[in-house]
Amino acid sequence: MLENGPSAEYAPYFDIDWESLKSDLHDKVLLPILADQYGRVLERGELQVQFEEGTFYLLYGERRLPIAPGTYRYVLKIALQNLAEYKDEDLYAELQSILTALEYLPKRAETDPKRIAERAREKEIIKRRLERRCAEAPQVQKAIEKALVQINGKPEDPRSFDVLDRLLNDQSYRLAFWRVAAEEINYRRFFDVNELAAIRVELPKVLDAVNRLILELDSAGSVPVLLLDHP
């Protein structure tokens, strides 16, 4: 859901206000996990984009957060410029083709089931193409790594984080200082535990999904006693 926002397969299962009156939370979920204000964390270089097996992700301490596939373009456009120095037209054209595929990827605000399925399928194909191309051509891997060094910025140069800031603002989540959760959070929690986002168990399909394993275990005679807590 953090990767795909409202177009995630199970986004409707969570009790999230995707249409928040706050413009910076429209089609996003608040993620109050930062130990300090966002700008300070950003300019200290504590938020770093990494690349592994065709997939980009955000590293914050020990937390690993997904990056929306459509925003891979922030890195790949710079990588494309870096690749030009190798003067390999085939590699350049391949990376251009991947960028074109990203442009046609259904947006994260899509709620039509067919478009959601298309997004889920195509984003994985794009990741596999990237992984394969990096494995076959080390120049592509190096061009991406060089782009990441540029995007991840330098703590002594605040302006060097501008592209990273735009990339993060284009995600399906908004990173925030943990202290703002009480006032700004846009999802229902279990008590006041930010990491426990409530699901919409009042919906029949969600209720069925939640209880499916329990009922299967009960039918198989694997559960002699069932304790229901907070019914």
For residue range 183-227, what is the model confidence (pLDDT) as tens digits?
A: 899 999 988 888 889 999 999 999 999 999 989 998 999 988 888
| Cβ proximity of 159 and 166 under 8 Å | no
| pLDDT higher at 229 or 99 | 99
CA distance 158 to 147: 17
- Look at residue 88 in the predicted model and tell me its pLDDT: 81
Calculate mean pLDDT across residues 154-166.
95
List, for residues 58-89, the tens digit of each pLDDT value.
999 999 999 999 999 999 999 999 988 877 88
CA distance 231 to 224: 19
Query: Is residue 231's pLDDT more than 70?
Result: no
Residue 126 three-state SS: helix
| Cβ proximity of 109 and 27 under 8 Å | yes
- Look at residue 20 in the predicted model and tell me its pLDDT: 85
pLDDT bucket at 96, cuts 50 / 70 / 90: very high
pTM of the prediction?
Answer: 0.89
